[in-house]
Chain A
Amino acid sequence: GQNIDQPTEMTATEGAIVQINCTYQTSGFNGLFWYQQHAGEAPTFLSYNVLDGLEEKGRFSSFLSRSKGYSYLLLKELQMKDSASYLCAVGDDKIIFGKGTRLHILP
């Protein structure tokens, strides 16, 4: 079976940095994804990690530790438009999503 845990909600201030953690337990592991989903919209791809370490892409970075079953998404220089749900997902052919973390950005 597979289990993915991430915080339900987080709040941060515009311009700040926020880290969203994700832990997972899977029977097999191919890779870990992060998706962003604005309210009422479809998820959009942010990042994919298959090897341990940090992947940086502009203001967003994603980290993976396979031995610990742990990942985080780091968002820098937060903007109001970053208010959304952030979904951690594991798999490859079939992707299993966590419940998502709703991020609220305060001005």
Chain B
Amino acid sequence: DTGVSQNPRHKITKRGQNVTFRCDPISEHNRLYWYRQTLGQGPEFLTYFQNEAQLEKSRLLSDRFSAERPKGSFSTLEIQRTEQGDSAMYLCASSLRASGGVLGNEQFFGPGTRLTVL
């Protein structure tokens, strides 16, 4: 257990439905990341936050995907009008990035939410 939690752990939905996932990072971590992972692939970057600010969003991410981190603590990832191609494991990670720090940005991953779109 890394201290990062995600809910739900599994989600099965029908094509066209909206889904929302939640991530609770390690409490003192200011950075929060979302990734998507499919079988046999490495995690694919989706977006990340520093505190409540969304600093970058992957160009591969369609407008159906939106993420928020309203108070700089937990984050939600919403997928609207789900498609079968959205089926994947959605991973959240958090890290502590000190101002001006030169140390590595070690990310701690949560257990993931496995989405199946029927």
Residues of A whose CB lies within 8 Å of any CB of B are 4, 31, 33, 41-45, 48, 50, 87, 89, 92-100
14 additional contacts, CB 8 Å, given A41-B111, A97-B44? Answer: A31-B104, A31-B105, A42-B91, A42-B112, A43-B91, A43-B109, A45-B107, A45-B108, A89-B42, A93-B105, A94-B48, A94-B56, A95-B33, A96-B45
B43, B55, B102, B104: the one contacting A43 at CB < 8 Å is B43
B28: interface (CB < 8 Å): no
Take A31-B104, A42-B111 as given contacts and tell me if A99 and B40 are in contact as well, using a CB distance cutoff of 8 Å: yes
Return the 3 tightest CB-CB contacts between A and B, nearest first.
A97-B42, A48-B104, A42-B109
B110: interface (CB < 8 Å): yes
Residue with the greatest number of chain A CB neighbours at <10 A, chosen from B2, B33, B97, B109:
B109
A14 CA to B42 CA in the complex, in Å? 25
Q: Provide a sorted-by-A list of 17 A–B residue pairs whose CB atoms are within 8 angstroms.
A: A31-B105, A42-B2, A42-B91, A42-B110, A42-B112, A45-B106, A45-B108, A87-B42, A89-B42, A92-B105, A93-B97, A93-B105, A94-B56, A96-B45, A97-B35, A97-B45, A100-B41
| Proximity string of chain B (85-109) to chain A, C-beta cutoff 8 Å, 1 when within and 0 when not | 0000001000001000010111111
A87 to chain B, nearest CB (A): 5
Take A41-B111, A94-B56 as given contacts and tell me if A50 and B104 are in contact as well, using a CB distance cutoff of 8 Å: yes
B18 to chain A, nearest CB (A): 25
B110 partner residues in chain A, CB cutoff 8 A: 42
B104 to chain A, nearest CB (A): 3
